[in-house]
Chains A and B, each alone.
Chain A
Amino acid sequence: MDMSDPRPEMAADLRKLPLEERMRRAREILARVRARGPDPNVRGKSMEEIVQMVKRTREEMAKERLAARP
């Protein structure tokens, strides 16, 4: 299983639901996110700091792809 897909079977089930039910689920998801509070990885960071953090990840991944080439 691709580790970036936590539960593909669950995702497939969610996609089959009517739009109204899917939006209700989406609201539940966001409510859960907001009840949990800021993720430690972004807590206290400005938007620009988050952008730079993602850029570093993007560069790391690009290097990994290059290194994986035969």
Chain B
Amino acid sequence: MRLVLDSNEYIAGFGDRPDLPPARLLDYFLDHPGQHEIVASRTIVEEVRRNLLPEAFKDFWSFLAVFAVNPVEDWEIPSALHAKYQAMGLKGGDAAIAACAEAASAVAVITENRDFHGRSGLPFRPLRAEEFLKEQGTASHGR
């Protein structure tokens, strides 16, 4: 399953908040290697960089590398897709994430950002980390 993880998942996970679902999400990917392909955009990488200390950002970057994630550059995402999502009411940055997901043919965007949830007509499923884990049958597992 090809997935886009939004910045808020990485920031909570790499900021080490074990009480929050994103930490369990990272554990899930470790426990299920090769089952999912993670997609990230340059925008996501930059948002994480701006919100974590350099040490944590370096760990985030290494984590992407071991999962063979090559960030999608903004110029690789068709501007028409970005415009499409803005026309659907998503703000600029959110529209960029949605456009990246569609360009990468991701089946889901895992995000806690409620602006993605409850929308119809998206070619991917917006899921909270807890929802994703529940669907995978691991929501009740701790660290």
Number of interface residues of B (CB under 8 A): 51
Do A11 and B16 form a contact, CB below 8 Å, given A19-B34, A23-B30? Answer: no
| Interface of B toward A, CB cutoff 8 Å | 6-8, 11-12, 14-18, 20-22, 26-27, 29-30, 33-34, 42-43, 45-47, 49-59, 61-68, 70, 91-94, 112-114
Task: Tell me how far the C-beta of B9 lies from the nearest C-beta in chain A, rounded to whole angstroms.
Answer: 9
B72 CB, min distance to chain A CBs, angstroms: 13
Q: Are B56's CB and A39's CB within 8 A?
A: yes
**B6 to chain A: closest CB distance in Å?**
8
A47 contacts B113, C-beta separation under 8 Å: no
Size of interface on A: residues with Cβ below 8 Å to B: 44
